Structure 1
Amino acid sequence: MRVSTNWLNEWVDHGLETQALADRLTMAGLEVDAIEGAAEDFSGVVVGEVISVEPHPNADKLNLCQVSDGNDTVPVVCGAPNVFKGMRAPFARVGAVLPGDFKIKKAKLRGEASQGMLCSAKELGLSEDAAGLMQLAGDAPVGTDLRDYLGLDDQIIEIDLTPNRGDCLGMIGVAREVGALTGKSVCRPPVGEVSQGGSEEIPVSVEDPADCPSYAGRVITGIDTRAESPVWLTERLRRAGLRPISPVVDVTNYVMLELGQPMHGFRLDAIQGGVTVRRGRQDEKITLLDEREVALDEDILVIADERGPIAMAGVMGGLGTAVEPDTEAVFLESACFSPTVIAGRARRFGLHTDASHRFERGVDPALQQRALDRATALIQSIAGGEAGPVTLAGSQPAEAAPIRLRRERLHAVLGFELEADQVTDMLQRLGLEVRADEAGWEAVPPSFRFDLAIEEDLIEEVVRIHGYDRVPVESLPSDVRPGEMPESRLALDQLRSLLVERGYQEAITYSFVPAETDRILSGGTEGQKLANPISQDLETMRTTLWSGLVGALRHNANRQQSRIRLFESGLRFILQGSDIKQEPWVAGVAWGSAEPEQWDGRKRPLDFFDVKGDVEALLTAGGPRGLTFQADSHPALHPGQCARILVESEDGGWIGRIHPQVADQLDIPAGCYLFEIPLSVAARGRLPAYRPVSRFPSVRRDLAFIVDESVPAAELVCAAREAAGEVLAEVRVFDVYQGKGVDSGRKSIALGLILQGSSRTLTDDDSDRVVQQVRELLETRLGATVRDQ
């Protein structure tokens, strides 16, 4: 919500500087995101009057104008097509400085002198309209500084409202908040006098009052199609971020900004018969104002005439009944729709309108006729017309139930005492009807505070108005004890730091992801669908962290990043019947060259073993552990370059290269590598323990075994450790060979056994015995044979 401080000051004389006002609003729960000026900087621009207009003798598209600036009349060459004698428009005198540090000087254009410039709104930075001069009111005082005349030294406060404060999506709501915070009275602008000379009306009906509690409509005929919205109105729309269109549309937008009531105008001659608020029907379609055709169903609330839908209720009107520049008669709509039937409907069609934003949060159910009268009076003051009677449908809003606030409960929650009169005054300033007694207060909220329903709501309102910054700071007694942190467990920050040291950057992605991406990467696992996703691409809770990381990889690769290392720690969400299991995991993605570009010019592409080294470093950060990378298959990973990680025989996740088909489906580089590890496994460490260093010499024996090419080297290493026992200090794989001298389908793996005793020097017999044990176990378990040469 963009709030003009000048406009706000007309409602409530709060007496605060802009920054102080923003601070008070933020502390009251209406968070201020930004404060900005209402216009760009410029100077030397006044209200000018065009005294005469003559064609330029040397240019067909230019005119020679005589312009009065209130003191002098000077010649000006102007190319605007809408300039006319008597027009009042912004005039930049010689010496004026326009936005962009553009200085106005005396000049000659096609041989004619020009001493100043008549300006368009775009040249002043007020809008994108550059079709012609910015026309001011006919009674604008000539010579007055334009900034003073239009109030351009105004400040705009941008407020980020929480979803429960739909009452503040209008100037009246913000003014009520400011009045309650400062103790100042709020002055409502008058509705204006409605000239009800017409008799034409359209019957309205509501099929289900639960969908539309209140609906009001009125016909206005005889509208002057030549009328234009006054500058004061278009300026207020501009400062709120809306573009002026035509008097009827501008007025409905203005009333929405002023009172928080969205309205819509239908072209009267396009409506057939009466108007009904009902649910859509299968096979019904409507073309919206943005020229998109959408299919409707029973989940969509519509406004319909005898022929079919003419608007999507609370979202957008239909193109077939749109108000056009030559429209002389309109049917104005002012309604209250239930938030439950509007919420999510706009996003379902990729829309987000000012109306849907308000109706999703709730609109005052008692406001419709007042807003209709206000809009009618404004239209008549700008474009004339005769107003017909108001037609109403729906049900009368039910009176709000009283809410009980106990004195003891208020004190218990706040932790400090407030005087009873203070509490009564604060609730009354918020518009509640309050009755106090010895035990507390009974308050009836006004119709516009539909978010107040329980005792805790009133407690929140009291502390908001009192001021969170005025709550006394006290140390409260507590028996909370810190949770136990095993000494062997690694902190997540340690794991993050380790990956950063190895060249990775941390990514934080959404927990909700595209459903198809997640299904592909998880191997068909179905994730939890969101009931109200923020977009069509973020509709499912992730079942793998890869879903977000591959999107980040694609984003960076598409922006010319040639070497990418990303990791993320977070939850994945697994459906288990009616429950959702939330599991913390650590995952990473890597692509590009193995090393950053350097002076020697050598480049080596990343391979499986580079990423495997990163994973090993991560899993051994807490001390040495038994790691096994077991060849396996995963639907998202490349066959032959995919492994299941086992940590001391426990499942430790996956590592591998992306499957080429998956890479093509997701539009990511085919040479990227992924890993994903449960945080419970990655964070587990081992307490350091002293082990004396042997004083005795070591012995090395090298053995080469021929095994089936499907047997991984890790299995030979594990079997060798098991067979050799405690005297095996280390085992090294120092050669792998396939080729001449080795049968097809077989391979040679050479192991270096480092043997060392802890209490004595090993003899040759001791070493031979260990070697024999290793040979026998490998032959029995893995079918290995010793290679002679």
Structure 2
Amino acid sequence: MKIPFSWLKAYVPLTSTPEQIAADLVRLGHEVEGVELPRAGVKGVRVGLILSKRPHPDADKLSLLQLDIGEAEPLAIVCGASNMGEGDKVPVATIGTSLPNGLKIKKGKIRGETSCGMCCSETELGLAEDASGLLILPADAPVGMEVGEFLALEEAVFDLSITPNRGDCMNARGLARDLAADAGLPFTDVVQADVVTSADVVAPVVAVAAGEDCPVYLARRIDGVKVTDSPAWMQAALLMAGMRPVNGIVDVLNYLMLTMGQPMHAFDADCLAGDVSVRTANDGEPFAALDGRNLSLRAGDLVVSDANGVLALAGIMGSLPSGVTDQTVNIMLESAFFRPARISETRRSYAMVSEASMRFERGVDPLMVAVAMNQATAMICDLYGGVAGAVTACGDAAAVNAGVEVHCRISRIESRLGITIPPATDEVLARMGFGISRQDDQLHVVVPPFRHDISIPEDLSEEYARVIGFDAIPAILPPLAATMPVQKSRFIHDAVAGGFLQVVSYAFISADEQRLFVADDGMDIALANPISDAMSVMRRSAWPGLLNVARHNLNRQQPGVALVEQGRTYARSDRGHDENSVLAWLVTGEMEQDEWYGTARSADFFDLKGAVEAWLSVRGLSGRFVADDAIQGLQAGQSAKILVGRSEVGRIGRVDADIAARFDIDAPVFVAEMALDLLPAAKPAKFAPLPEFPGVERDLVFLFERGCSSDAILDAVRSAAGKLLTEARIFDLYDGKGVPDGKVSLGIRFVLQDGSRTLTQEDSDAASTAIIAAMQKRFDAPLR
């Protein structure tokens, strides 16, 4: 938001420099992003009178000018423009002047003729983007006067970023009130304008059906206006404030909004049919907005309508058919107070931003609704003619945000800020509109109706801090109560130690991404007001986020990625919703690159399976991987559920190729997810000395059906071998010549050891016999 310095001075007699005012604004909590100095940008450009004009002897398109700029001798200037003549007054940039476009004026020769300056156009003065010739000044312009002073260019323009809670300061009046209160200067507030009305102009008939969202609504007809361009001073003021002039009526309303803070809207009264209604929209009701968009409204949107349909999305934007144009003769002027939350919700749902909506959704001053209406009426009638009718008023502005009080202890605020609050500070807040009284340690505050952000003692603490100055608050660490140390979770740290890169992705994903890995069972948590369609539901799996991160990295020439994320998933439940802690992995691309000792190798299922097993092993747990082709989003034949004990705690597998392609990944992608809340407690590691007695290693080879699970086979071996078993693994697989169809030969190696004695042949034979019997009984697998 841009506010010219002169606008502030209209409300308070400021004598400080623009730099000092900017510092005061920052101290009061208003961020100043920059200070533009339009008048300083044309310093050295003076009003010049053309005394003579004659052609350049060596250039057809150049002229030799003699100009009077109030000095003893006239200036000789070579000029290429053709729209001037003797007796005209033009801006003259003297030697040493730096123009807004970066050009520095120097004395020089052009085609052999001396030029001691430059005559300027609007473009060279930074007043317009293009110009067809020199800027011809009025005949009464004083010769030699600084052009910036004559054109009343702003001394300074403040570029401000107003915080969302300070809607009262999104205008010159609100900022001036803060500055006046802070400096102890008089504040000249807006007075009610005198408006002459005529009974011949029929007052609009207005019905407010949505009183909760629109507690105040004023409407008035003005007949017989002649819509023309706004005066030059108003157009210049709007341009300085960063707004584009539109037409006379719209410019008046924008000018008053920027200076007084009350947005208003004007309808072409001849385009209205029947009575005006402020109501909620019907689902699917059409609306043709001023910005050219055709919207299908949702039930509950606040609108202004007539008998034919929607005239405006209340507080946001008017309709194109009812907008004021150069052909408009009669207008209906609207001034209202709309509930901020409703405007914010509607504006966000349609991604429709307007200067009015930014103010309404932050909260405007309800007592300015009528004042602004009269001010706009008087200005329109004065500039564009017309006769005003009576105001139709719905609601009571004085009741909006009235009587809000906050009570607290002074000592509590002082404790929070760490400083003593002098009573003189109360006087500053009183000048800002607060009603303040102290009684011993008790503070009673009546909040002004334009301060919608003040409701609790903490808000008052912020107000006192603004007035005193945040730099005066000491930087002291507050005392903290002693608490038991919280043990750090090692889940993610152990995964990172396994060679994975930790990432954090959004908990919001699109509904389409949700369906890739989770069935549509009605348990999604949809956001009521999502940032975008890509972030419309709470995730129920961490895999979509990891896939998006993987795509981002692969698109930036990373040959392979290994990612891990610890976070939460969310789903509806009988209790409202559940939050589940998960740890998720992803690997894709190259696991090993080309080296002198070997070729590149891509990630496979067993890379991720080994990482998950290692992660479980650190916790003293072992997992079983049971094939499961029914896991949504994973490829059949390469997916499994993870069991610890008898509990299913996770899933692992290869992402379906079509899903990977959806994320623009053409390499195999492997993912795993562990439900941390379902894991049993980690088993602490225990030290065991190296055994003094040797172990016995034996190999047995069996003929199994192809469908047998290796996990189930090894589990049976461990059960059968007994307590002497220290290791069991499959070391060989063969299905070639000599092996019947549908069968596979597996070699099982097991190690027996006892820490207190040397094992005998009988120990080894007993274990072998038990294992052979178990394989025959459970899998019908004979010894080869």
Q: 1:518 deviation in Å?
A: 1.8
Matches within 5 A, 1:382-781: 383-386=383-386, 388-399=388-399, 400-401=402-403, 403=405, 405-407=407-409, 410=412, 414=416, 421-422=423-424, 424-437=426-439, 440-453=442-455, 457-458=459-460, 461-462=463-464, 464-466=466-468, 470=472, 480-485=482-487, 490-491=489-490, 494-495=493-494, 497-498=496-497, 502-509=499-506, 511-525=507-521, 526-557=523-554, 563-595=560-592, 602-620=599-617, 622-632=618-628, 633-663=630-660, 669=666, 671-680=668-677, 685-781=682-778
Partner SS, residue 541 of structure 2: coil
Is the 2:639–2:652 contact (alpha carbons within 8 Å) kept by the matching residues of 1?
yes
Counterpart AA for 1:516: D
Is the 1:238–1:244 contact (alpha carbons within 8 Å) kept by the matching residues of 2?
no
Residue matched to 1:211: 213
Could you say what the CA RMSD is over the residues aligned between the two structures, in angstroms?
4.7
Q: 1:453 deviation in Å?
A: 4.3
Is the 1:407–1:441 contact (alpha carbons within 8 Å) kept by the matching residues of 2?
yes
Q: 1:449 deviation in Å?
A: 2.0
- When structure 1 is superposed on structure 2, of 273-282 and 578-587 the one drifting more is 273-282
Q: How many residues align?
A: 766
| C-alpha distance 694-597 of structure 1, shift in aligned 2 (>3 A) | same
Distance 2:26 2:646 in 1: 54
Is the 2:266–2:324 contact (alpha carbons within 8 Å) kept by the matching residues of 1?
yes
Distance 1:15 1:247 in 2: 33
Counterpart AA for 1:605: S
- When structure 1 is superposed on structure 2, of 456-465 and 205-214 the one drifting more is 456-465
Q: 1:753 deviation in Å?
A: 1.9
Q: 1:694 deviation in Å?
A: 1.1
Are residue 254 (structure 1) and residue 241 (structure 2) matched?
no
Is the 1:654–1:676 contact (alpha carbons within 8 Å) kept by the matching residues of 2?
yes
Residue matched to 1:351: 352
Residue matched to 1:77: 80
Is the 1:201–1:391 contact (alpha carbons within 8 Å) kept by the matching residues of 2?
no
Partner SS, residue 611 of structure 1: helix
1:363-400 per-residue CA deviation (whole Å, 9 max, x = no partner) reads 2222112223344455567x543351352321112442
| C-alpha distance 238-151 of structure 1, shift in aligned 2 (>3 A) | closer
Q: 1:174 deviation in Å?
A: 3.3
Q: 1:287 deviation in Å?
A: 0.8
Partner SS, residue 286 of structure 1: strand
Is the 2:109–2:115 contact (alpha carbons within 8 Å) kept by the matching residues of 1?
yes
Is the 1:4–1:157 contact (alpha carbons within 8 Å) kept by the matching residues of 2?
no
Is the 1:67–1:76 contact (alpha carbons within 8 Å) kept by the matching residues of 2?
no
Matches within 5 A, 1:184-263: 184-188=185-189, 200=201, 202-208=203-209, 209-220=211-222, 227-228=229-230, 230=232, 234=236, 237=239, 239=241, 241-263=242-264
Residue matched to 2:340: 339
1:276-317 per-residue CA deviation (whole Å, 9 max, x = no partner) reads 323334563121112121223541222223332221111211
Distance 2:614 2:38 in 1: 57
Is the 2:220–2:388 contact (alpha carbons within 8 Å) kept by the matching residues of 1?
yes
Is the 1:41–1:98 contact (alpha carbons within 8 Å) kept by the matching residues of 2?
no
Distance 1:67 1:732 in 2: 104
Residue matched to 1:176: 177
Counterpart AA for 1:319: L
Is the 1:265–1:323 contact (alpha carbons within 8 Å) kept by the matching residues of 2?
yes
1:439-482 per-residue CA deviation (whole Å, 9 max, x = no partner) reads 74544322212344456654554455445655567787775422
Distance 2:472 2:394 in 1: 45
Distance 1:583 1:653 in 2: 12
Q: 1:492 deviation in Å?
A: 5.5
Counterpart AA for 2:613: E
Is the 1:53–1:63 contact (alpha carbons within 8 Å) kept by the matching residues of 2?
no
Are residue 161 (structure 1) and residue 164 (structure 2) matched?
yes
Is the 2:570–2:578 contact (alpha carbons within 8 Å) kept by the matching residues of 1?
yes
1:264-287 per-residue CA deviation (whole Å, 9 max, x = no partner) reads 232344334543323334563121
- When structure 1 is superposed on structure 2, of 458-467 and 277-286 the one drifting more is 458-467
Residue matched to 2:779: 782
Counterpart AA for 2:758: T
Counterpart AA for 1:361: R
| C-alpha distance 47-503 of structure 1, shift in aligned 2 (>3 A) | farther
Distance 2:17 2:745 in 1: 83
Q: 1:539 deviation in Å?
A: 2.3
Q: 1:86 deviation in Å?
A: 9.7
1:133-188 per-residue CA deviation (whole Å, 9 max, x = no partner) reads 797985877763659963476452323324xx332333333333444555554444
- When structure 1 is superposed on structure 2, of 300-309 and 411-420 the one drifting more is 411-420
Counterpart AA for 2:332: F
1:678-736 per-residue CA deviation (whole Å, 9 max, x = no partner) reads 34578964433210101223332223333233333222223222322343332333333
Q: Which runs of 5+ in 1 are unaligned?
A: none
Is the 2:500–2:564 contact (alpha carbons within 8 Å) kept by the matching residues of 1?
no
1:176-223 per-residue CA deviation (whole Å, 9 max, x = no partner) reads 344455555444467777687996455141322333222223445666
| C-alpha distance 492-283 of structure 1, shift in aligned 2 (>3 A) | closer
Is the 1:271–1:305 contact (alpha carbons within 8 Å) kept by the matching residues of 2?
yes
Partner SS, residue 785 of structure 1: coil
Q: Which runs of 5+ in 2 are unaligned?
A: none
| C-alpha distance 563-286 of structure 1, shift in aligned 2 (>3 A) | same
Distance 2:374 2:87 in 1: 34
Q: 1:253 deviation in Å?
A: 2.6
Is the 2:696–2:753 contact (alpha carbons within 8 Å) kept by the matching residues of 1?
yes
Distance 2:733 2:3 in 1: 73
Is the 2:76–2:114 contact (alpha carbons within 8 Å) kept by the matching residues of 1?
no
Partner SS, residue 291 of structure 2: coil
Distance 2:25 2:702 in 1: 77
Q: 1:635 deviation in Å?
A: 0.9
1:332-386 per-residue CA deviation (whole Å, 9 max, x = no partner) reads 32211123443311222232333223323322222112223344455567x5433
